[in-house]
Structure 1
Amino acid sequence: MTWIKTVSYEEAVGKLRKLYDRVKGPDNNVDNIMMSHSLRPHSMEGHMAMYKYCLHHTGNTLHKWYLECIGVYVSFLNSCSYCVEHHYQGMRRLVDDETRSRALRAAIEADEVANAPLDAREIAGMVYARKLTVSPSDMAETDIEALREAGFEDGEILEINQVTSYFCYANRTVLGLGVNTDGDIIGLSPNNSDDPDDWNHK
Structure 2
Amino acid sequence: MSWIKTIPYEQATGKLRKLYDRVKGPDDNVDNIMMSHSLRPHTMEGHMAIYKYVLHHSGNTIPKWFLELIGVWVSALNECEYCVEHHFAGMKRLLGDDVRAKELFEAINDGDVDVAPLTDSQKMALGYAAMLTLTPSGITEDIISALRSAGFEDGEILEINQVTAYFNYANRTVLGLGCNTEGDVIGLSPNNPDDPDDWGHS
Same fold (TM over 0.5): yes
Matches of 1:97 and 1:137, distance apart in 2: 36
Deviations 1:30-66 (A, max 9, x none): 0000000000000000000000000000000000000
- What do residues 120-169 of structure 1 show as CA deviations (whole Å, max 9, x unaligned)? 11111111001100111111111101101111000000000000000000
The corresponding residue for 2:178 is 178
| Aligned match of 1:69 | 69
Query: Displaced runs of 4+ in structure 1, greater than 4 A?
Result: none
Tell me how far apart the structure 2 counterparts of residues 82 and 191 of structure 1 sit (CA, whole Å): 21
Residue identity opposite 1:135 in structure 2: T
* TM-score normalised over the length of structure 1: 0.98
Partner AA of 1:84 in structure 2: V
Residue aligned with 2:9, SS: coil
Compute the displacement of 1:200 (Å).
Answer: 3.1
* Contact residue 48 and residue 199 of structure 1 kept, 8 A: no
Residue matched to 1:189: 189
Q: % of aligned pairs identical?
A: 68
**Structure 1 unaligned blocks of 5 or more:** none
Instruction: Supply the distance in 2 between the matched residues of 1:114 and 1:196 (Cα, whole angstroms).
Output: 35
Deviation at 1:106, TM superposition (A): 0.6
The residue number in structure 2 matching 1:16 is 16
In the aligned structure 1, how far is the partner of 2:9 from the partner of 2:197? 20
Counterpart CA distance in 1 for 2:36 and 2:102 is: 30
The Cα RMSD (Å) is: 0.7
Task: Find the counterpart in structure 1 of residue 166 from structure 2.
Answer: 166
The SS at the match of 2:128 is helix
How many residue pairs were aligned? 202
CA distance in 2, matches of 1:17, 1:121: 43
Counterpart amino acid of 1:158?
Answer: L
> Normalising to structure 2: TM-score of the pair?
0.98
Instruction: Tell whether 2:153 aligns with 1:153.
Output: yes
Q: In structure 1, what residue type is equivalent to 2:139? A: M
Q: How does 1:33-182 map to 2 (within 5 A)?
A: 33-182=33-182
C-alpha distance after superposition, 1:106-128 (max 9, x if no partner): 11111111111111111111110
